[in-house]
Amino acid sequence: MSHTMSEKILRKSSKNYDAEAGDIVMANIDVAMTHDLTGPLSVQSFEKIGTKKVWDNSKIVIPFDHQVPADSIDSANNHIIMRKFVKEQEIENFYDVNAGVCHQILPEMGHVVPGEVIVGTDSHTCTHGALGAFATGIGSTDMAMVFSEGQLWFKIPETNRFNITGKLKENVYAKDVILNIIGQMGADGSTYKSCEFAGDTVSNMNISDRMVLSNMAIEMGGKTGLIEPDQKTIDYVEKRSNKSYEIFKTDLDAPSLELIDIDVSNLEPQIACPHNVDNVKPVSEVDIEIDQVFLGSCTNGRIDDLRDAAKILKGNKIAKGTRMLVIPASREVYEKALDENLIKIFVEAGALVSAPCCGPCLGGHTGLIGPGEVSLSTSNRNFKGRQGSPEGEVYLSSAAVAAASAITGRISLPQS
């Protein structure tokens, strides 16, 4: 019988080669990630189990990214808990406050390769499916089970495969593609489905852009967001990792597969309006004054995003009454931006550049908005209160729209 990528990966990981979509399997975990915000509960739950040592200290990755540097006594205490755990368990892959966002760190540092099962105590762990891994978010108490046993149960998901075709217009990016798909599918349109992204549009995207698609699969309910590995994937992985890997591809006649055709030839820049990610409209239909622009996050804080924004901001000034916060997704991205003088462009335009971290994305750290304020963000969620006050509003866009809007002080299209 024919099978999807998700079925093939989970069948192999569980050694249950008769399993199909809908079956429950106990899968072996290849990489387990937790961070400074969700990690302490995982550690406390692990200690309650009573297991003395984690199943494999080389397969656990712990980055600090959500509240770094510590912005409160509570967050400082969380850091202490996690550093103690790292030391006691001799965790090999620990990234302290200077490294960057977890979903950028894992692929950059070679922890992600095709065919693996990757879990993280963060819903956007699905990002790593861009490299052909079955990657998904889990709860902190589930992570305690993983720490102890190196296994976790999964119901093998059915698959929505988005066949994306057409050449993108100027100033239209991967963020616009995924926002448009989420707008069509709705917030629950792929609930507990594996979302596969395929077609010539995806084939022409670089790894950075593919990560944008996979990152936001969760915003339409997806369990994971997968892209079949190709030569671009292999080049990226082999440059960064010495792990062995196996490439899986979907059989197009698999019974659990639903094909969905998406033509992006005439797609305009898109924007998600408050307070739901599926409330998507063309940017041309939205004319709203903004108070803050946030360029960063695990969705659009990579070097390509900073380049796109800097190209628009160069020689321009951020509008009076508007503030812009730029946060590179990792130290590597920050260093590249320094080398390319992008940081200088941002500073000269009037932006505030911060150290690599999640920033205001989760509403728990720097750059929060107050009551009545409007934020335009390149991140992945715009729920009420997501970036600060529940009386504020958050819009989501590409880096190019964010930069153009920072100059005008209102949501605007980039000028060709």
Q: Is residue 182 part of a domain?
A: yes
Residue 57 confidence (pLDDT): 97
Q: What is the CATH number of the domain that holds 315?
A: 3.30.499.10
Same-domain check for residues 223 and 282: no
Out of 221, 236, 262, a domain closes at 262
If asked whether residues 124 and 236 sit together in one domain, one would say yes
| Residue 228 and residue 332 in one domain | no
Matching residue, tokens 């490299």: 131
* Residues 374, 296 within the same domain: yes
One domain, residues 151 and 179:
yes
Is 413 among the domain residues? no
- Report yes or no on 249 lying in a domain: no
Residue ending a domain, choose from 262, 294, 323:
262
Indicate whether 85 and 183 sit together in one domain: yes
Chunked into runs of 10 residues, the chain (416 residues) has average pLDDT values of 95 94 97 95 94 96 90 92 96 94 96 97 96 96 96 97 96 97 95 96 97 96 97 96 96 95 97 95 95 95 97 96 96 97 97 89 82 94 82 95 97 88
CA–CA separation, 369 vs 393, rounded Å?
A: 8
Tokens matching residue 377: 């963000």
Please tell me whether residue 233 adopts helix, strand or coil conformation: helix
Residue 415 lies in a domain: no
- Tell me the two tokens of residue 5: 């990528």
Segment 31-46, tens digit of pLDDT: 999 998 999 999 999 9
Question: pLDDT per residue over 345-381, tens digit each?
Answer: 999 999 999 998 878 888 777 888 899 999 999 998 8
Give me the pLDDT at residue 383, please.
83
Domain that holds residue 307: 270-408
Do 162 and 281 sit in the same domain of this protein? no
Domain annotation covers residue 88: yes
Domain-located, residue 371: yes
Asked if 79 and 114 sit in the same domain, the reply is yes
- Report the domain count for the chain: 2
DSSP assignment of 52-116, as one string?
Answer: SS-S-TTSEEEE--SS-S--SHHHHHHHHHHHHHHHHHT-SEEE-TTSB-HHHHHHHTT---TT-
Q: Beta partners for 62?
A: 94
For residue 416, the model assigns a pLDDT of 65
The answer to whether position 416 is within a domain reads no
State whether 238 and 288 are in the same domain: no
Task: State whether 130 and 21 are in the same domain.
Answer: yes
Q: What is the pLDDT of residue 2?
A: 94
For the four alpha carbons of 98, 102, 105 and 106, in that order, the dihedral sign comes to positive
Give the contacts of 132 (CB within 8 A, at least 6 positions apart): 5, 114, 115, 226, 227, 228, 229, 233, 247, 248
Provide the 3-class DSSP secondary structure of residue 175.
helix
Question: Does residue 172 sit in the same domain as residue 126?
Answer: yes
Same structural domain, 314 and 373? yes
Q: pLDDT tens-digit profile of 257-308?
A: 999 999 999 999 999 999 999 999 999 999 999 999 999 999 999 999 999 9
Residue 414 forms part of a structural domain? no
Q: Are 16 and 25 in contact (CB under 8 A)?
A: yes
Helix and strand numbers, DSSP H then E, in the chain: 14, 18
